[in-house]
Every structure is written in structure tokens, then in C-alpha cells.
Structure 1
Amino acid sequence: MEIHPQDLTLTFVCSRFPRKFLRHLEEVREIKARRIEEGIYYLEGDPVPMQLLIPPRLSPENNYWMQHLRGNLKRGNEIEELMKRYEEHSHSRWYQAAMDLIIRANWENVKEEKNMCEALRELFADELRESEEKGLAAGAEKKLISQVCAKLKRKICVEEIAGALEEKIEVIHTICEVAADYAPDYDVEKIYDKLKEGENRK
């Protein structure tokens, strides 16, 4: 099905007023910003309707959901209130779409909330499961690193460590190489982070 430009609205969401961007639009495309209310501007001069939202400037009373379209929500009251309000509208696809954007932009803080409502857990079941699996995997890797470091402190060689822990010698060798930079204290967290950095570069 063909969608006409008149049926679309492009929305730009910025954390602060984008002066350079708007100047560029006006000089190059002859598109001007018209303030509708605090934090909401219509960008006029193009066949496709466009608007600009600046969430920090929006009124929480009049534009609660749009005001939360940002990536710096605070743990505690702010996120808890958001979850409470979402639970009242969780059946609505519009609210689901809005919440999806908000939560993905603030996932690190949101996933730590113990009081996450059931509707939100259902909406983000896959992400929560993935986070839990990653947490379990990280715990197992750190345990292995700790065991390797304990044996390195006792001057045990790579081959013997691999045999004792029943791990591939290549895996133990990689851990030992990185751990050498943190001898003699062998900070497990720093070694783990360094190993992850190496994996991400591959």
C-alpha cells in the first residue's frame, strides 16, 4: 500500500535546542521552525510534515510521555512513576510503542528496577532474558578468571592450570596473558574488562 507524504510526519527529538541544525535547514532547504508551545516546533517549508521535540523543555503535565523521550531517566521515583502510568495503558499499541522507545533509550537503568510492572516485563521479556543470561555468563567467566589468578599466584604454569580446571589451554593462555598486566594483585574485574575489550575488537 502506497503511503502519501501528507500522511507522514517526521519527528526530530533533541535533548537541547539545535541552533546549527535549524540554521542549516533554513539556509539550505528554506525550512523554518515555528514554536507551537514550549519544546514543540513545526518545521515548515517542506512537502513532508515535520516537527521538532525538545523533551527537557516540554511540560510534564501536558506532554508527559513525550517529555520522557530521552535517554537520561533517573532510577527510583522517575522510572517507577513511568512504569505505574504505563501499566494503566499497557493495552494500547500507541503506549507500547512510546514505552518501547523510552525503555530502549534507558535500558541500563530500567533493567535494574526491581518493581518493574508485569506488563513491562512481558513487553521486554526477550531483553530481560538476554540480560539475565549475560549476567550468568559474566559470573561464570569471572569465577574462572579468579581461579586462574589464584593458581598464578602459586606460580603454576598454564598447562597445569588448564588441566586442573579442565579448560582448553588456549582459553587459559589468553587469560594468563591479560592477567600478567595486573600481577601480583590480579584484579579480576579489570582482567575481565580487558578480555571483553579484546573480544569486541575481533
Structure 2
Amino acid sequence: MNISNFFKALSYVCSFPDFLNQSKAVEQVTLTLITHRYPKKLFAYIRKNFMKVTKDPVEKIIDGLYYIHIGLFPVQLIVLPQLPPNRYLWLHCLTNHITKDMPLEELGLAYKPHEDDPVYKTFMNAVIRANSLNEGDEASMCEALEELFASRLEAREQKGLEEGISRLSTLIGKLLDSNRIADIKRVTEDPGYRESLFSEFHL
């Protein structure tokens, strides 16, 4: 988070009244900024230029959470690596710099009871996408996330395999009932033809 990005974010918020056609829209806004690095230059700039507005324009609330008092609207800045992971696990892991040193086991345990919840799914999908490594046309998760989701991915693959076998068995049964013996051999050799028969029999 540099000085330019900070004031760019402020300008976006200041444009809300015109965008929403509500003159008091800014009064209902709290700007939250998240960064992966301690913004030393930004904080120094704010302290130097906004001391007349308030005694302490940059207030540290806890490790990783700072309130910035600049007289416009509430601004809070979160420095992810500084957040206590035991208290702010989800925020701490909201990063595109996942490593094995992060509390991934705790994240997995916290996520497990909510894995069918759309909100939690959205969060985890965001983390996975942010930490995917593009290799040619394929995207692979970073090693740390692969380990976290290994059992889940294996279970999904096993389920897919079982469903595929069941689907193929049903198709072969229908071909036998229709006395289409020649098609059975072709189904096992020609994926395109197999898919066309799946469509034909609505499987």
C-alpha cells in the first residue's frame, strides 16, 4: 500500500455521493484497506501531513490493525502478516502469498464444518485462485494448499470415478437391452461416440 494507492482509494469513496446520488453517502462508509506489507512510507507521510487534524493520525489498535484519522471518514488499514492468526485466522489467510508457515491446518479444521456454506466456499475459492500458479494452459495450486486439500481432492476424484463407472455400466446395460452389441466395443474405444450415446440415452 503506497501513498498513491491510498489517496486513490480515498478518491473512490469521495465519489460515492455523485455515483449514488446521495449527498450523505460518505457518512455511512468505512474504508478498509488490506496490505501484505507494513506501509512505512505511507504512515510517515500521514503523520507528517495530518498532525494538525488529530493528535495521532495513525492509531495502532492491535498488531496488524490501524485506524487512520484524517477527518474525512473512518479508515482502517489491515497489515495481514501482523494479525494474530489465533484471533483472526480467516483474515490472516486472505492472501496470495500462502506458505507452509501459515496456519493452514487450523484453516482446514475451521473450514470443514462450513464446507457446504456458500459464503465459506467463496472465501476458500478466492484463496485458492489467488494462490494458483499458472503453468502454460494449466493452473496448479501452490504446494501448501495442495497439501491442505489433498484428502478432499482425492475424495472428489474417487467420487467422480465411481460416478463414471456407474454411468458407463448403465449405458452398456441399455445397449445390451437394445441388442446393440457392436456399439459396446466402440463405446470403450471412442470417447466422442461414448458421449453421443450418453446424450442419446440421457445419461
Normalised-by-shorter TM-score class: 0.3 to 0.5
Give the greater-gyration-radius structure (CA). Answer: 2
